Structure 1
C-alpha cells in the first residue's frame, strides 16, 4: 500500500486552517478528533478479545509476549511492557518491548532504523524468541519494514503473531494470525500518527496486557492483588486492597500485610483463617490464582 494513499497520511479537512484559529478553537478541534478514537477501538473488540485469549493460552504453556515497533509505535510497546512488572508482579521477561534503534531510540529519534526487515528479525533472535511466544507487531501505517521482518520471522517459527495498525487491509495484517486495526483516520497534523493513532495504540495495548493478566488470575474483582509493595504509595495501596477484599479495618490490613509479605497471601490468611505457610501453600497449589485459592478445593 502506497504511503500517500493511507488514511493516516491524508489531510484532515477539520483542521485544514488550524494555524489560523484561536487557542481554544484549536484545542476544541484536537479534542473532537480524539473523541473518535474510542469508537475506532470499540469496532476492533472481537479481534482484541481473540488476542487476549490466545496470549493467555501461550502464557499457560510457558510463553512470553513481545511488542515490536518503530518510533511512536515502538515507544508505546516498550511503555506497556515496562509497566506490567510493577502492576502485576510478573518478571520483566514475561512482557518485552523492542523498539527499532534500541533503547536509545526511546529518547532520541532513530526513524531510519525502521527500514530494515532484517534488523527486526535480528532483534527478535537476540531476545531468544521462540515458537511458544507471542508477538504484537505495531505500525500505525501497517507497512513498517522493521515490523514486517519481525512478524515474518515469528510466523516462520510458529509463534503467535498479532498485528496492530491504524489502517485496514495493511501489509502487517496480511501476515498476522490476528489483525487489530482501529481506523483512526486523518490526523489533526497531517501524518502525525503520535496523535490519534498513538492514542488508539495505547488503548489497545492497555486492553491486551490488562485482559491477559485478568485471565491469568492477577486480579481479584477489580483489585490489583499482585501489586508489589515496594514503596510507601504501593504499601498503602496494598493495605487498602486487603481491606477492600476482606472487610478488615486499615490497621488490621497493615498488620496482615506485614505478617504475610504479599497482598494475596494476606487475603488468603484472613479469609480462610490460615497462617502464612498454609496460605502460601494454598496459593502455590492454585498457581497464584487468588479466586481459585479461596475456593474450598483449589
Structure 2
C-alpha cells in the first residue's frame, strides 16, 4: 500500500514538473500542455513566469492575449503553445493550467556562435561560444573537437593559432536531468593570403638585371608573330577591295559612255519645215503722172587762157 502511494506521488510530481524543451535561438518551439486529449472542457491558460500569454474559455469564441513581446510570436493550437523565432529571453519556466490542473515546463535556449580575427584562416585566432539559457545556474558545458576529444570544460573555446587539425565539426555538449544534449558548428579552415613584395630598386648599376622579353613577343610594339601575319593579311584584303572598287567604277563609266553614243546615233536630225501660205499677189499701184525730171546740168565750158 505504501509503495502504491509513493508511486502515485512520484507520478504526480513528474506530471507537475512537465518536460524540458530545448530550442536553438531563431528556431521554433512547441510546448505541449500535457493533457492527453489535447483539448480542454472549461478553461486553458499559459504563463511565462508570472506573465500571462493566453487565456481561453469554452464559452468565449476567441482566446485572450496577454502582454509581452513573446505574445506576438506565439499562438495556440488546441492546448499546445507554439513559439516562432525563439530568443534567449524566452528561456525559463512555462506554466499550463487546463481545467484546474497545472503543468510546468522548462524551455532551454541554446545559442552557438563563432568569432574570428581573420576569416577562419590558418594561424588566425578563433573563439567558439556556447550559451545555455533557462536554468540558474546554467548547466556545465564542454566543447568537443572534431576527433572526439574534449577541448575545454567551459562555454568558450579559444583556438590560437587555428590549425588544419581544427577543421571539422565541433560539438557543444551539456547535461540536464540525466539527459545529454549537444549543438554542433562547422569550421572550414582557409589558406592564408600570401602577399608578394615588389622588388626594391637598387642604386648600384651592377645590380640591374635585364629582363628578356618572352619568346613569343618582339621588342618593337610588343606584338607576336601571328598578330603581324593577321595585320598583313588584313592590309592585303583592304588593298584588293580598293582595286576592285576602282575597276568597277571605271567599267560602269565606260558602259554609260557607250550607251550614250548608241542613243545619239539612233536619233537623226529632222529637216526644217516652214509654213507656206497661199496669199493673193498685191495689185500694181497706178501711176499718178510723170514725175518732173530735173534739168541736166549744162556742160562745163573750158577756161579761157589769157
Same fold judged by TM-score > 0.5? no
TM-score for both structures, normalised by structure 1: 0.26
Pick the structure with more strand per residue: 2
Higher helix share: 1
Report which structure shows greater RCO (CA 8 Å, sep ≥6).
Answer: 1
Of structures 1 and 2, the larger Rg is shown by: 2
TM-score (norm 2): 0.25
